[in-house]
């Protein structure tokens, strides 16, 4: 069973513009993406490329650059790598209906692979203790992904206390636009409506 089965089962690719298959990014460094998703409740989808898929968490408040500001992160199904550059509208009556904006995109490093006792990304996430270094356009530096509740599978996304930590920044509010197209959620929605009418 592929880890993309749940992703594929939830979607009708005749109706949604989301990618059904995968061409791979072909990049040396694994990718990370954060997509702002204006679904029934607005949230940010945090995704890390791990072993050929995008491991995914829904973060209701989005990422913070303040280490004291821990953000709840709820795991969601693995997504195909091509999803990292998906931006547009998931139509009504489809799973996850609403507008998707690529809020940040870049590469990351597994910091736990650099420890004295190196741990792969898969092992780190299985144990509920991921540490990554993000090189995005908005976000930089270390982030921890920590499972705080095994039964409910609840996680926290926490900025690590490094030179990129900044309690005064608030990028989800001051830098709302797409890093791919420089569009706002509203502009993406308007463009999609125009091209479908
Ligand atoms: Mn979502």
**161-180 pLDDT tens trace:** 999 999 999 999 999 999 99
- Report how far apart, in Å, the C-alpha atoms of 167 and of each of 65, 70, 80, 176 are: 6, 12, 33, 18
Summary mean pLDDT of the chain: 94
CA of residue 185 to ligand 1 center, whole Å? 14
Residue-wise pLDDT for 23-76, tens only, equals 665 567 899 999 999 999 999 999 999 999 999 999 999 999 999 999 999 999
Tell how far the Cα of 8 is from the centroid of ligand 1, in angstroms: 15
Ligand 1 centroid distance, CA of 57 (Å): 8
Question: What is the per-residue pLDDT for 161?
Answer: 97
Q: What is the pLDDT of residue 196?
A: 72
Considering the chain, what percentage of its residues have pLDDT values greater than 90? 85
What separation in Å is there between the alpha carbon of 115 and the centre of ligand 1?
Answer: 32
Q: Cα of 117 to ligand 1 centre, how many Å?
A: 34
State the distance from the centre of ligand 1 to the C-alpha of 96, rounded, in angstroms: 6
Ligand 1 centroid to Cα of residue 103, in Å, is 12
Rounded-to-integer distance, Cα 30 and Cα 25, Å: 9
CA 120 to ligand 1 center in whole angstroms = 26
Q: What's the pLDDT at 25?
A: 54
Is the pTM of the predicted complex or chain greater than 0.75?
A: yes
């Amino acid at each position: 069973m592929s880890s993309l089965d749940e992703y594929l089962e939830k979607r009708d690719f005749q109706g949604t513009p989301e990618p059904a298959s995968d061409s791979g990014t072909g990049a040396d460094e694994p990718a990370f993406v954060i997509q702002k998703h204006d679904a029934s409740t607005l949230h940010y989808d945090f995704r890390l490329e791990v072993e050929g898929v995008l491991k995914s968490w829904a973060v209701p408040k989005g990422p913070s650059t303040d280490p004291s500001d821990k953000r709840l992160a709820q795991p969601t199904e693995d997504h195909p790598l091509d999803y990292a550059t998906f931006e547009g509208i998931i139509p009504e009556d489809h799973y996850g209906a609403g507008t998707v904006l690529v809020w940040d995109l870049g590469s990351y490093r597994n910091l736990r692979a650099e420890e004295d006792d190196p741990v792969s990304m898969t092992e780190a996430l299985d144990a509920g203790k991921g540490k990554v270094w993000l090189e995005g356009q908005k976000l930089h530096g270390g982030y921890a992904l920590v499972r705080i509740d095994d039964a409910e599978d609840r996680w926290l996304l926490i900025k690590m206390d490094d030179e990129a930590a900044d309690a005064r920044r608030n990028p989800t509010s001051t830098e709302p636009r797409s890093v791919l197209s420089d569009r706002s959620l509203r502009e993406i929605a308007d463009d999609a409506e125009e091209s479908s009418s």
